[in-house]
Amino acid sequence: MSGTVLDQIIQGVRADLAERQRSVSLADLKTAVLEQPAALNALAALQQPGLAVIAEVKRRSPSKGELASIADPAALARRYAEGGAAVVSVLTEERRFSGTLEDLDAVRAAIDIPVLRKDFTVDAYQIWEARAHGADLVLLIVAALSDQQLADFLALTEELGMHALVETHTAEEVARALAVGARIIGVNVRNLKTLDVDRDVFAPLAAELPAGLVVVAESGVRDANDVARYASEGATAILVGEALVSDSTPAERIAEFRAVAAQAN
């Protein structure tokens, strides 16, 4: 299998997607969406005063391998909510992250705050699928999409009452995200081609983003020092997975991160 890590992940995502499309038609998904309660307002949740924490249910990663078994994702999500998380992110990609749509279902049923379906969106089917399973927020990775796809997927997401976390890695991707009107923009300091983390990437890209947007620092959060740094560099939200799933007291850690960020500003 050739190409970058992102290319390889997407190849697997497309194969798994084709399998699901064979078993659940788009028409069936659209019917399921009609039966869902309206999506929660993730944008409003992320705009509340203080640093917003998007806490992730994440079993493994391509860079680190196994992180945590997470036998009960619903229980973990409840702990995140108790700690003050604004949004709970659920990995649903199976091959590299050991996530499932069943995890998303379990988390959605367990908490009353917005839920992000974290996956590699390459087809409109996945956006309908996210809403059918109760997601309020989806991930759109600029590096994985054309300008037309990005615009179309963002429009569909909003049509279904959801919001999108639009992920960027470079100044060019930030410009593309702004051009389609993204309101929640993530700066991922992990290079998806190599999986290397470079925290120095965040500040110059965050500086390109106009006031009023939700600016999410993604990856590289190891401890309170990293949180304080991101907050001081313009993050209004952080997305944290590994540091929380490997912690025995994730609710307390979230509360600590929010307190540290308040002091940094």
Output the pTM of the full model: 0.95
Provide the CB-side half-sphere exposure for 161 (13 A, CA). 15
> Looking at the annotation, which residues are catalytic?
56, 58, 118, 167, 188, 218-219
Kindly give the confidence (pLDDT) of every residue in the chain, 265 residues in length, as a single tens digit, with 9 standing for 90 and above: 457 888 999 999 999 999 999 999 999 999 999 999 999 999 999 999 999 999 999 887 767 667 767 889 999 999 999 999 999 999 999 988 989 999 999 999 999 999 999 999 999 999 999 999 999 999 999 999 999 999 999 999 999 999 999 999 999 999 999 999 999 999 999 988 788 899 999 999 999 999 999 999 998 898 999 999 999 999 999 999 888 888 789 999 999 999 988 887 6
Q: Considering its fold, how many domains does the chain have in total? A: 1
Q: Provide the CATH number for the domain around residue 64.
A: 3.20.20.70
List all residues 6 or more positions away from 99 whose beta carbon is below 8 Å from its beta carbon. 57, 58, 59, 90, 91, 92, 93, 118, 119
List all residues 6 or more positions away from 28 whose beta carbon is below 8 Å from its beta carbon. none
Domain that holds residue 117: 5-264
Cα torsion 173, 41, 115, 76: sign: positive
Tokens 């995502």 belong to which residue?
13
